[in-house]
Amino acid sequence: MVSTPLRRPRSPSPNGEDEMTLPEDYKPYVPVAKRRAQMLSQLGSKKQEVKKVKTAEELEKEMEEELREQAEDEERAREKARRERTLLQAAQEVKERKALEDAQKSAADKEAEKEAILLAEMERAQKKLASAQELAQGTVYTESLRTSWRPPHYIRNLSEEEHQVIRDKFHIITEGDGIPPPIPHFADMKVPKPILEYLKGKGIKKPTPIQIQGIPTAFAGRDMIGIAFTGSGKTLAFTLPAIMQSLEMEAKLPFVRGEGPVGLIICPSRELARQTYEGCQAMCNALKESGNYPELRSLLCIGGINMADQGDVLNRGVHIVVATPGRLIDMLDKGKLNANNCKYLCMDEADRMIDMGFEEDVRSIMSHFKYQRQTLLFSATMPRKIQDFAQQSLINPILVNVGRAGAANMDVIQEVEYVKQEAKMVYLLECLQKTPPPVIIFSDNKNEVDDIQEYLLLKGVEAVAIHGSKTQEEREYAIRSFKTGAKDVMVASGVASKGLDFNEIQHVIVYTMPKEIEDYVHEIGRTGRSGKTGIATTFVNMNTSEQTLLDLKYLLMEAKQKIPEFLLSIDDPRASHGGALKGCPICGGLGHGLQDCPKLQEEQRRKQAANTRYDGGGY
Ligand SMILES: Nc1ncnc2c1ncn2[C@@H]1O[C@H](COP(=O)(O)OP(=O)(O)OP(=O)(O)O)[C@@H](O)[C@H]1O
């Protein structure tokens, strides 16, 4: 309750002017010296009056005492005022600090709001991914595809809690409804024996975490988003289900000319497609050679090769097609292939596919489907765009995630070194001594790739080079000679070698740090594969942007790597906003927010360039 202060009525001022009202007990201030003088003069007169009662000395003493007490009272009052002032000041400081924090908090909130608007816009910009027929007929699938595969009895009998214990043990994170159980042994997945034998021969005896959860999920016919770090065995997790589906279909009714494929695997690069195709074909061969299974035929469908060479496969019906988008669309448009029987669609490196502008191509491929298919997206990173993409093309999907999307492989020892631009080439030679071959050197600049190769050749190092401007033959020669060990070093542009699985790379040298941390994760991921440890050395210098360095710093921290002093000293402007830092929703980088995402900026730049070209009448 608030009490109303009592106010005394004022008597009007005699001169009519407004006077300040003084309290009744008001005493004007008289300095100590003046009071002492007044008292002494009073004392003089009092001395005579009380002469008979008290001696002058006694009176003087009394006065002194009184004065001392007054002085002490004053000092106490001053002290009280001082204390009040300090308290007031402290309260003011607290108030100011709170106001500042509030302002910062609202800045962070504003940022989050902006991000939400941007993301919503991006979502709206994407159309539903479906075939022309489905769109025209308004077909909406609500249930996953059914397959005849079931986990073995003893696994089905385990409780959900027991399944979760296995997931936790292997750091598998899942999201979705009715998630199939994780299965930690290939044999329990009911994988055909000849394939098990083949895998064993390649040293693949136990499934990796992404395979433990991913293979049963795919075998059960569920749509899925598979996220796992580089080199964690994603390829097997999506080729094996394609083979199983093909076996099931072939067993029902053997494929004849013009039929198929059952499984379609799309990769962003020719090299990656070839590698996936070879792995797939090897498993099909193992089945056929066992004599107990029908022949399954796979087809490689990429630019730069003569499709007539695979005419035999096309003539007899094809079960699995591994393709790059451009050549696949060409084949579908020309009617050399059709998706009428296709039940299984997988996009490897889906994030890269979208980055490389294949989104429209994927839409175009989707438009060839007549019936529901099982769709899988695999990626080492999980930008927001993939989540949106999945939402538009997957039905009741399951997310299988091993480790944070975009995190680096923990089996890679990451060493970051500050090397001046002009010293890089010479230092590279020294750096090559760190490990025996094979070694991969990355640079995002094609000219730099050529320069490095030339320099190494001059220095007597057996090096090959690969980048986007090389011919198909040159690229294939480089990969072949490096894979077989004929060449010790491969100098590569990041794009040309994404997802490639080379044998036991000892050392990756990131000669020029890529702008996008995702690319860096892919590059260093060429080593430290299938559980082996590898080394990655990265050169940074003044040319590396602070934001990239910040992304790198957080990535190193997350992977519990040694952080060089110069990285430690970089402050994160967002850290002052307080609260935990969340990764960029676009690329997963930990050192920046959505608005500073280099990926988003690159995309906007591309769009702008395309618009400018269009406006300029270039088409
Ligand atoms: N269960 C396993 N046990 C041991 N090695 C395996 C297993 N599964 C796959 N591998 C091997 O691990 C290597 C990496 O596998 P893979 O290429 O599928 O990785 P990835 O996750 O696709 O990597 P990236 O994201 O870089 O493409 C391959 O040589 C593969 O033969």
Question: Which pLDDT belongs to residue 306?
Answer: 80
In the chain, the number of structural domains is 3
Q: Ligand 1 centre from 199 Cα, in Å? A: 11
Nearest CA to ligand 1 atom 23: 231
Q: Ligand 1 centre from 211 Cα, in Å? A: 10
Q: Ligand 1 centre from 231 Cα, in Å? A: 5
**Is residue 54 in a domain?**
no
Does residue 565 sit in the same domain as residue 592?
no
C-alpha–C-alpha distance, residues 415 and 341, integer Å: 49
Question: Which pLDDT belongs to residue 16?
Answer: 40
Q: Ligand 1 centre from 310 Cα, in Å? A: 27
- 320-360 pLDDT, tens digit per residue, is 999 999 999 999 998 888 888 899 999 998 877 877 777 77
Question: Among 100-109, 126-135, 466-475, which stretch is predicted with the lowest mean pLDDT?
Answer: 126-135
| Per-residue confidence band for 410, with pLDDT thresholds at 50, 70 and 90 | confident
- 3-59 pLDDT, tens digit per residue, is 333 333 444 443 444 444 555 555 666 666 676 677 767 766 655 554 455 576 777
**Mean pLDDT, residues 498-522 taken together:** 87
Boundary residue ending a domain (379, 402, 425): 402
Helix (H, G, I), strand (E, B) or coil at 421: helix
Shortest-distance atom of ligand 1 to CA 501: 17
**Is residue 33 in a domain?**
no
CA angle 285-291-255, nearest 5°?
65
Does residue 595 sit in the same domain as residue 448?
no
Q: What is the dihedral of CA 178, 181, 186, 187, to 10 degrees?
A: -100
C-alpha–C-alpha distance, residues 397 and 418, integer Å: 44
Does residue 300 sit in the same domain as residue 358?
yes
Residue 374: which H helix or E strand, with range? strand 374-379
Does residue 345 sit in the same domain as residue 270?
yes
**Is residue 583 in a domain?**
yes
Shortest-distance atom of ligand 1 to CA 233: 18
Q: Ligand 1 centre from 409 Cα, in Å? A: 12
Q: Ligand 1 centre from 196 Cα, in Å? A: 15
Q: Which tokens belong to 260?
A: 């198929």
Does residue 345 sit in the same domain as residue 481?
no
Nearest CA to ligand 1 atom 4: 204
Q: Ligand 1 centre from 534 Cα, in Å? A: 14
Ligand 1, CB within 6 Å, residue ranges? 202-204, 206-208, 211, 228, 230-236, 380, 499, 501, 525, 529-530
- The answer on pLDDT for 618 being more than 50 is no
Nearest CA to ligand 1 atom 14: 231
**Would you give the distance in Å from CA 180 to the centre of its chain?**
26
Q: Ligand 1 centre from 166 Cα, in Å? A: 21
Mean pLDDT of the chain: 80
Does residue 554 sit in the same domain as residue 586?
no
- The answer on pLDDT for 472 being more than 70 is yes
Boundary residue ending a domain (402, 424, 448): 402
**Is residue 227 in a domain?**
yes
- 548-563 pLDDT, tens digit per residue, is 999 899 889 888 899 9
Shortest-distance atom of ligand 1 to CA 530: 12
Nearest CA to ligand 1 atom 9: 233
Nearest CA to ligand 1 atom 10: 233
Shortest-distance atom of ligand 1 to CA 526: 26
Evaluate the omega torsion of the peptide bond into residue 261 and state whether it is cis, within 30 degrees of 0.
yes
Q: What is the ipTM of this complex?
A: 0.96
C-alpha–C-alpha distance, residues 521 and 511, integer Å: 14
Q: Which of residues 299 and 608 earns the better pLDDT score? A: 299
Boundary residue ending a domain (372, 402, 432): 402
Question: Among 229-238, 288-297, 589-598, which stretch is predicted with the lowest mean pLDDT?
Answer: 589-598
CA angle 101-103-107, nearest 5°?
110
Question: Which pLDDT belongs to residue 87?
Answer: 67
C-alpha–C-alpha distance, residues 253 and 46, integer Å: 133
Question: Among 215-229, 257-271, 377-391, which stretch is predicted with the lowest mean pLDDT?
Answer: 377-391
**Is residue 483 in a domain?**
yes
Q: Ligand 1 centre from 529 Cα, in Å? A: 7
**Mean pLDDT, residues 527-543 taken together:** 89
Give helix then strand counts, H and E, for the chain.
21, 14
Does residue 544 sit in the same domain as residue 584?
no
Nearest CA to ligand 1 atom 27: 499
**Is residue 501 in a domain?**
yes
- The answer on pLDDT for 168 being more than 80 is yes
Highest mean pLDDT: which range of 14-28, 59-73, 520-534:
520-534
Does residue 273 sit in the same domain as residue 395?
yes
- The answer on pLDDT for 450 being more than 80 is yes
Nearest CA to ligand 1 atom 20: 231
What is the DSSP pairing of strand 439-442 with strand 489-492?
parallel
User: Best of 196, 198, 204, 520 to mutate for ligand 1, by most ligand atoms within 8 A of CB?
Assistant: 204
Question: Which pLDDT belongs to residue 10?
Answer: 40
Question: Which pLDDT belongs to residue 14?
Answer: 39
Question: Which pLDDT belongs to residue 148?
Answer: 81
The candidate with the shortest Cα–Cα distance to 581, out of 569, 570, 594, is 594
C-alpha–C-alpha distance, residues 358 and 129, integer Å: 13
Nearest CA to ligand 1 atom 12: 530
**Is residue 79 in a domain?**
no
Does residue 566 sit in the same domain as residue 583?
no
Does residue 397 sit in the same domain as residue 264?
yes
- The answer on pLDDT for 444 being more than 80 is yes
Question: Which pLDDT belongs to residue 191?
Answer: 93
User: Best of 529, 532, 533 to mutate for ligand 1, by most ligand atoms within 8 A of CB?
Assistant: 529
Q: What CATH number is given to the structural domain containing 421?
A: 3.40.50.300
**Is residue 224 in a domain?**
yes
Q: Ligand 1 centre from 444 Cα, in Å? A: 24
- The answer on pLDDT for 398 being more than 60 is yes
C-alpha–C-alpha distance, residues 390 and 175, integer Å: 13
Q: Ligand 1 centre from 599 Cα, in Å? A: 27
Under 8 Å between Cβ of 241 and 221: no
Does residue 471 sit in the same domain as residue 604?
no
Nearest CA to ligand 1 atom 11: 530
Range(s) of the domain holding residue 340: 153-402
| Per-residue confidence band for 574, with pLDDT thresholds at 50, 70 and 90 | low
- The answer on pLDDT for 507 being more than 90 is yes
Does residue 181 sit in the same domain as residue 318?
yes
C-alpha–C-alpha distance, residues 89 and 85, integer Å: 6
